[in-house]
């Protein structure tokens, strides 16, 4: 098992990107797959790609890297913000016989990174397994059309392929989201496909009883560090993955720019015609970082929230602030709206976090200079409870 770490990573995900491509049924969908949103970019990269490609890959490692990290002069948008070496290590891992495991706090863009990697490598990010307590092996490997099974018996005709079966037969990357939320015995159904590159179908006979993976097959799994210990992975399964840890963004300016960009895209998609206010976003991002780190920008210690205060949550709150301001009053939203929208974020995991948030507003927001900080302080009474 190889463990690597990178700091300062998050992702951009403009659902309304001009390069999103057509929706499959001609109707607007909320969030098309990455290969649809960025269809033009992928086609351009494939056409210009002169690099060596691993067997079964749609792009070379260098072209896949450009797709994820962007290249302004070539018109390729940046889709992931962070240490480029993380992308290099992830791509190399997928080119080996081991799977890739992305671990980190909630909201650090693990799922989006796995989607982008799958789109770059296979041109298809939809072979996805969503892990959970109710996830079964049937949902991972294959199931049966029981009407045909009863009428004709087990055959390839009555078999219903699940993402793992399809990924192996088609030579594509399979995404396994939140793998540690699955029971241990369900996780371990990946052992043979990852080690021997073979999937047994004991109900069938002859050549159909074993499915051998085609070139290009691999697995990208994600795991939430807050779920650690719920269903710890077996040592055998861990050995079949290379681990990469994705951390939150460390630079304030980078996080602010990302929140502004993402909130703007989301608001446009929601019918809001005014951009979010920069001074309001500065207050929002500062508050999130301090509540997440447990200290102020001046170095004063404070109680950190147990709730997830990630960049993704900051984007969601910024979106809600803009919606609230536009549809209720016709403006871009203010710091007072932040208080209203923060309550649901702060109370997700622990009711005591509301009290910590109230203390932050009373003791720290008051000391800051600026109209929006003063409005944030004056609106502290809007917190419930």
CB of 9 within 8 A of CB of 247?
Answer: yes
Between 310 and 211, whose confidence is greater?
A: 211
Are 225 and 264 part of one and the same domain? no
Shared domain for 132 and 276, answered yes or no, is no
Predicted pLDDT of residue 18: 41
Higher pLDDT, 23 or 355: 355
In this structure, the answer to whether residues 140 and 289 fall within a common structural domain is: no
Please write down the HEC assignment for all residues of the chain. CEEEEECCCEECCCCCCCCCCCCCCCCCCCCCCHHHHCHHHHHHHHHHCCCCCCCCCCCCHHHHHHHHHCEHHHCECCCEECCHHHHHHHHHHHHCCCEEEEEECCCCCHHHHHHHHHHHHHCCCCCEEECCCCCCHHHHCEEECHHHHHHHCCCCCCEEECHHHHHHHHCCEEEEECHHHCCHHHHHHHHHHHHCCEEECCCCCHHHHEEECCCCCEEEEEEEHHHCCCCCCCHHHHCCEEEEEECCCCCHHHHHHHHHHHHHHHHHHCCCCCCCCHHHHHHHHHHHHHHHHCECCCCCECCCCCCCCCHHHHHHHHHHHHHHHHHHHCCCCCHHHHHHHHHHHHCCCCCHHHHHHHHHHHHCHHHCCCHHHHHHHHCHHHCCC
Indicate if 235 and 344 belong to the same structural domain: no
Choose among 167, 166, 188: nearest CA to 179: 188
Structure tokens, 343: 């309550």
Same domain, 33 and 174: yes
Structure tokens at 298: 């001046």
Work out the number of other CB atoms within 10 angstroms of the CB of residue 146: 10
Q: What is the pLDDT of residue 303?
A: 81
Asked whether residue 232 falls in the same domain as residue 272, the answer is: no
| 357 close to 315: Cβ distance less than 8 angstroms | no
Q: Tell me: the pLDDT tens digits for 63-72?
A: 999 999 999 9
- This prediction has a pTM of 0.86
d(CA 144, CA 160): 5
361 and 312 belong to one structural domain: yes
Supply the CATH number for residue 154's domain.
3.40.50.300
Q: Which of 227, 246, 265 is the last residue of a domain?
A: 246
Quote the number of domains for the chain.
2
* 236 and 305 co-located in one domain: no
Residues 70 and 99 in one domain: yes
148 with 277, same domain? no
Claim to verify: residue 197 and residue 57 sit in the same structural domain = yes
What are the strands of the beta sheet with 2-6, ordered from one edge?
2-6, 241-246, 99-104, 218-224, 173-177, 128-130
Average pLDDT for residues 112-122, to the nearest whole number?
Answer: 97
- The domain boundary residue, chosen from 180, 213, 246: 246
Rounded to the nearest angstrom, the gap between the alpha carbon of residue 236 and the centroid of all alpha carbons in its chain is 26
| Residue 241 CB burial class (10 angstroms; 0-12, 13-18, ≥19) | buried
Distance CA 154, CA 43 (A): 40
Among candidate residues 246, 264, 281, the one where a domain is terminated: 246
- Compute the Cα dihedral for 109, 221, 66, 247 and give only its sign: positive
Considering just the CA atoms, what is the radius of gyration of the chain in Å?
A: 23
Categorize the per-residue pLDDT at 230 as very low, low, confident or very high, splitting at 50, 70 and 90.
low
Residue 186 and residue 264 in one domain: no
Give the residue numbers spanning the domain of 222.
2-246
- pLDDT 10s digits, 176-222: 999 999 999 999 999 999 999 999 999 999 999 999 999 999 999 99
Mean pLDDT of the chain: 89
Chain segment 325-380, per-residue pLDDT in tens: 999 999 999 999 999 898 877 766 667 888 888 888 998 888 888 999 999 999 98
Q: Which two tokens stand for residue 45?
A: 């990269």
């Amino acid at each position: 098992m190889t463990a690597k770490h990178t700091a300062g990573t998050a992702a951009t995900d403009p659902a309304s990107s001009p390069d999103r491509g057509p929706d499959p049924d001609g109707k607007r969908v909320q969030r098309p797959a990455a290969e649809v949103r960025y269809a033009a970019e992928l086609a351009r990269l494939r056409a210009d790609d002169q690099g060596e490609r691993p067997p079964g890959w749609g792009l070379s490692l260098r072209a896949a890297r450009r797709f994820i990290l962007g290249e302004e002069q070539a018109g390729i948008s940046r889709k992931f913000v962070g240490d480029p070496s993380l992308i290099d290590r992830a791509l190399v891992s997928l080119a080996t016989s081991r799977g890739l495991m992305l671990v980190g706090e909630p909201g650090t863009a693990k799922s989006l990174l796995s989607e982008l990697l799958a789109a770059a490598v296979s041109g298809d990010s939809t072979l996805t397994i969503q892990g959970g307590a109710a996830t079964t092996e049937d949902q991972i490997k294959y199931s049966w059309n029981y009407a045909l099974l009863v009428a004709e018996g087990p055959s390839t005709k009555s078999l219903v392929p699940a993402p793992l079966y399809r990924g192996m037969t088609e030579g594509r990357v399979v995404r396994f989201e939140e793998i540690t939320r699955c029971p241990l015995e369900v996780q371990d159904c990946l052992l043979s496909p990852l080690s021997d590159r073979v999937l047994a179908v004991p109900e069938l006979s002859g050549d159909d009883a074993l499915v051998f993976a085609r070139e290009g097959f691999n697995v990208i799994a994600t795991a939430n560090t807050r779920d650690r210990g719920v269903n710890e992975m077996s040592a055998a399964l861990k050995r079949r993955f290379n681990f990469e840890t994705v951390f939150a963004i460390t630079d304030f300016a980078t996080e602010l720019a990302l929140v502004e960009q993402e909130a703007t895209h989301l608001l446009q998609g929601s019918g809001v015609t005014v951009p979010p206010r920069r001074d309001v976003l500065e207050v929002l991002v500062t508050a999130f970082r301090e509540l997440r780190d447990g200290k102020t920008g001046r170095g004063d210690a404070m109680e950190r929230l147990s709730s997830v205060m990630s960049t993704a949550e900051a984007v969601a709150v910024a979106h809600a602030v803009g919606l609230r301001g536009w549809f209720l009053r016709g403006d871009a939203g203010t710091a007072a709206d932040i208080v209203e929208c923060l309550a649901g974020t702060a109370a997700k995991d622990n009711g005591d976090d509301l009290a910590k948030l109230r203390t932050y507003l009373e003791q720290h927001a008051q000391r800051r200079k600026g109209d929006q900080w003063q409005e944030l302080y004056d609106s502290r009474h809007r917190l419930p409870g």
